[in-house]
Amino acid sequence: MIRAIVNKEVRETWAYAALALGLSAACVCRQTGLWSGFLNLILSWVPGLSEKALLPFIQSGFGATFGLIAFALAMTLGFRQSAWEGSQGTALYLLHLPLPRRTYFLTKLSTGIGLQLATMSLPIVWYACWAALPGTHPAPFEWSMIDPVMRLLQLAPLVYLGAFASGIRTARWIGSRLLPLVAVAIPAYFIYNTSWLVGLPVLVIMSAGLISDILLEASTRDF
């Protein structure tokens, strides 16, 4: 049963992940020089794609573009897996399957987080491996240079959980409904700008709180 739910979630959301991966790949292609004139003409206006940087990850707009794509994917998946089910009426059927609500929603959350982490990790690995190879660019490279984008990657699940919690809420006013998503902004800024030793526990606590809120809403809401 769990495997069937995972397959359903992947089948319904893979297109969003593929789009995010394609945009990220275009950004990496620009930064590595693997670029065509056609794509340059079409996407040269996108921040981070306008010019090739001398120092990978440092003197480029890759981080800003990567963060924008990662957070957009996180919010899209969060709302798609929560608000969409209720609006289409499929939640009524799925919640009557012989599976506890807690298990069902934990499976959805695990699938969404796993899909976005797998999708957004590939461009980082590709770009970092290219930068680490000798002769690819005339500048030194240290693996610590990927720290900013790794911080953005670790924040993506937090944004996803905020979007999911907002999508599953029943508040009529949009400001109240989006409160969980808005509430992650300040902690996310703090986590990004502090050390891993301090930021990681805060990230875990915030994520646990959002998951608890989602499970509470799922168990008490009358779908």
Nearby residues of 183 by Cβ (< 8 Å), 6 or more positions away:
162
Reduce the secondary structure of 115-137 to three states and give it as a string: HHHHHHHHHHHHHHHHHHCCCCC
Higher pLDDT, 193 or 51: 193
Query: Residue 45's pLDDT is what?
Result: 60
Query: Residue 118's pLDDT is what?
Result: 94
For 140-154, write each residue's pLDDT tens digit.
888 888 998 999 999
Q: Is the pLDDT of residue 135 over 70?
A: yes
Query: Residue 8's pLDDT is what?
Result: 80
Q: What confidence category does residue 123 fall into, taking pLDDT thresholds of 50, 70 and 90?
A: very high
Tell me the two tokens of residue 3: 């495997």
Segment 65-73 shows an average pLDDT of 92
For 8-31, write each residue's pLDDT tens digit.
888 888 999 999 998 888 888 877
6 neighbors 109 (Cβ within 8 angstroms): no
CA 198, CA 190: separation in Å to the nearest integer? 10
Segment 78-102 shows an average pLDDT of 70
For 180-211, write each residue's pLDDT tens digit.
888 899 999 999 998 888 889 999 999 999 99
Q: Is the pLDDT of residue 97 over 80?
A: no
Q: Is 221 left (phi over 0), alpha (psi -120 to 50) or beta?
A: beta
